[in-house]
Amino acid sequence: MMCIHGGAGFGRTLAVNICLRGLEPHGDVRKIAFRARPTARAVRHGLFTALGLAGEPPRHPGEFDRLLKTALAERPSHLPGGQRPRTFLVDEAQWLNGEAFEYFRCLWDEPSAHLAIVFVGGEGCHTVLRREPMLSSRIFIRQHFTRLTPGEVLEAIPLFHPVWADADPGDIAFADQHAAHGDFRARAQLAAHTRPALARTGRSHVDRELLRWAFSRLA
């Protein structure tokens, strides 16, 4: 198990998705996200859906648990390289409470499950994990995402989107200082506004006049 946590818009989910595609292009990755504080019952139903299980979800918790553990033990063997661990990407994990985290721990502890779990969430995710010693001790890696530094912006942003690939480094820094502030999501919003503007104006690359217009379009 691992925990990826940090502020909103810092590129956590993007980075995890790209890394999983690179590490396990043919792997069995199941994504699940919660938008409110889920109970263990809600987690069971979320896993039922993520695993694509047929029929109606069991009503009794014990029966439901047996079904999930059986499904987790049945790893697909048709993938390249034979049987591989199943990976759960649990996004928006800051909504999980101690009960929900504990349920994931119980599944992970099941020897036949052969399960990897990646928790991705805001700062609250790591805070809750630290309050659960039995779970916290099983977290192999904790990675804290922060805003990009000015040097990281110049290194990473030209690779992030074609709009920035040919941009002048000074203009990339200008956009970061006045709008993005090391935030990946803000940079994506700028690209979404800038790309059609380039087409309308016939420009080959961004400049500060166009960037100032894009700044005005940000919420």
pLDDT of the residue at 122: 84
pLDDT of the residue at 26: 66
For the chain, domain boundaries: 2-145, 150-217
Q: Would residue 181 be called left, alpha or beta, if left means φ above 0 and alpha means ψ between -120 and 50 degrees?
A: left
Residue 136 CA to residue 126 CA, distance in Å, equals 9
pLDDT tens-digit map of 2-31: 999 988 888 888 888 888 888 776 678 889
Given a cut of 70, the residues of the chain with pLDDT beneath it are 25-26, 75-84, 219
Superfamily in which the 2-145 domain is placed by CATH: P-loop containing nucleotide triphosphate hydrolases (3.40.50.300)
Residues 7 and 145 sit within 8 Å (Cβ to Cβ): yes
pLDDT of the residue at 202: 87
* Residue 29: other Cβ atoms inside 10 A: 18
Tokens for 129, please give them.
């994990």
Residue 214 CA to residue 191 CA, distance in Å, equals 9
pLDDT tens-digit map of 180-211: 898 888 888 899 999 888 888 888 889 999 99
